[in-house]
């Protein structure tokens, strides 16, 4: 009498692998890594706009006057216009669509309105560096992240905007937040 060898059959192994694969897929869907990445980028955007606002408020307190930015690309008063925050305005012409940065589909940075605000005079005394949007990318037509211009985020273009309204209220926000979030602070 011979004794049979113990082990698993091929069918049993395939069933176990199928169950493991199904559970792994279910966990992946439940965790939703894309949404988690978008949430983490939005959290960083909230932090960045707060840092810039704090730097501006501290400079205003030290100077005892409203903050105007660098003289070559100052903040302008336009309730309907935003200015893209840049780290250097050299070579940017608001009248030239090839050098003008855009923000998104709903925020106007058109020519003749001061499309950029250079905040480089805040560094390093009030903020270590002008923050850059965590989703650095060259925008492509139809992406919605830039309606005009050729200055991609990360190339002096911070991906954040600033708006000064009448009464010297300042709003700072993200040009292209994920999940259609509205990320801005106003003081």
* pLDDT tens for each residue of the chain, 187 residues long: 566 677 888 898 999 999 999 999 888 888 888 888 888 999 999 999 999 999 999 999 999 988 888 877 777 776 667 788 887 777 777 766 656 666 764 555 555 557 788 888 888 999 998 898 887 655 555 444 444 455 656 667 788 888 887 777 888 988 888 888 888 888 8
C-alpha 59/C-alpha 78 separation (Å) is 21
Structure tokens belonging to residue 157:
């273009």
Q: In three state form, how does the secondary structure of the chain look? A: CCCCCCCCCHHHHHHHHHHHHHHHHHHHHHHCHHHHHHHHHHHHHHHHHHHHHHHHHHHHHHHCCCCCCCCCCCCCECCCECEEEECCCCCCCCCCCCCCCCCCCCCECCCCCCCEEECHHHCCCCCCCCCCCCCCCCCCCCCCCCCCCCCCECCCEEEEEEEECCCCCEEEEECCCHHHCCCEEEC
């Amino acid at each position: 009498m011979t004794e049979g060898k113990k082990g698993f059959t091929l069918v049993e192994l395939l069933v176990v692998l199928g169950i493991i694969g199904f559970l792994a897929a279910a966990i992946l869907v439940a965790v939703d890594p894309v949404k988690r990445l978008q949430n983490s980028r939005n959290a960083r955007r909230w932090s960045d706009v707060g840092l810039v606002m704090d730097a501006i408020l501290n400079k205003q307190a030290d100077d005892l006057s409203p903050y105007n930015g660098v003289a070559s690309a100052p903040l302008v008063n336009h309730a309907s216009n935003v200015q893209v925050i840049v780290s250097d305005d050299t070579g940017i012409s608001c009248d030239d669509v090839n050098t003008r940065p855009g923000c998104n589909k709903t925020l106007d940075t058109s020519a003749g309105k001061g499309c950029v605000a250079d905040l480089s005079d805040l560094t390093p005394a009030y903020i270590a560096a002008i923050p850059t949007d965590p989703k650095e990318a060259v925008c492509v037509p139809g992406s919605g992240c830039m309606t005009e211009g050729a200055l991609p985020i990360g190339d002096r273009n911070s991906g954040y905007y600033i708006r000064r309204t009448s009464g010297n209220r300042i709003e700072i926000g993200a040009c292209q937040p994920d999940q259609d979030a509205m990320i801005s602070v106003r003081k």
